[in-house]
Amino acid sequence: MPIYFRNTPVSEPFTFDSIGNHWVQEHTSRPKGYPLCHYLQSEKGSGRITIQGKEYLLLEGEGVLITPFIQHSYGKETEEWLTLFATFTGTIESSIPRLLGNRPFIFIGKEQGAEIASFISGIVKKYENPPMDVKALSADCYRLLMFLADGIYTHDLLEDSLYQRYVAPVIREIETNYHSELTVQKLSRQVYISPQYLSRLFHRFLGCSAYEYLTIYRINKAKEYLLTNPRMEVQDIAHKVGFADASHFISIFRKITGVTPLGFRKLN
């Protein structure tokens, strides 16, 4: 049951933080979600997965992609449950949710799952025969993300009138002006609804509040600065991503990632 973890600094737009197949899957519970976008698929047997309080059965050949910090847990439903998986990172990992239609999770059917299983098997074989071509690996990672973006539920979000009218414009504002003094109050006024209703809509479509989305987006942009500008001071990065106070930025960064900005830079 091969599993491979990234052991080099993040230098490409997209790459795998971990990848593997034929894994004897154990029970996993993540009340605060996982910090990276990750994919899980049943290879043999089936498992039961709970996402944001709702249960789903993951039958053989079916998979699910879960975006960062989405509450979930899973465990085997049959006597034996083998899985394949991949977790995604990169210098522009903050763009991955957008590539995936900003869905909190995407289910993959058996037909598409068969293609993904074959593709992941090919990538695992590359890991078995080092040295790795990091640029080719980055291209593979992007191709896999595009496979997943074609999941059967992705189009539903873009067709929802509430999402298009209220959530999409706020997302565009956040992604354009994250470095400015944005608040949920200001964002809600732009689409003429209350802050409470805006956050309810964000929870409905994205699995997090508007404030959480803004904060996570800023932290992901900070990761980009930390990796691509190794000499930039943490205080300057804090200001560039919309934090007026560096100590508050460090505290939020540690809360979300588990390490300080400097610690994150050393790890990568």
Q: Is the pTM of this model over 0.75?
A: no
- Residue 157, pLDDT > 80, answer no
In tens, the pLDDT along 188-234 reads: 999 999 999 998 888 777 767 889 889 888 988 888 888 778 889 99
CB distance 201 to 195 below 8 Å: no
- Residue 268, pLDDT > 90, answer no
In tens, the pLDDT along 10-57 reads: 778 888 999 999 999 999 999 888 889 999 999 999 999 999 888 999
Chain centroid offset of residue 90 CA:
11
Nearest CA-CA partner of 15 in 143, 150, 147: 143
Cα angle, residue 214 at apex, residues 41 and 49 outer, rounded to 5° = 20
**pLDDT value at residue 1:** 60
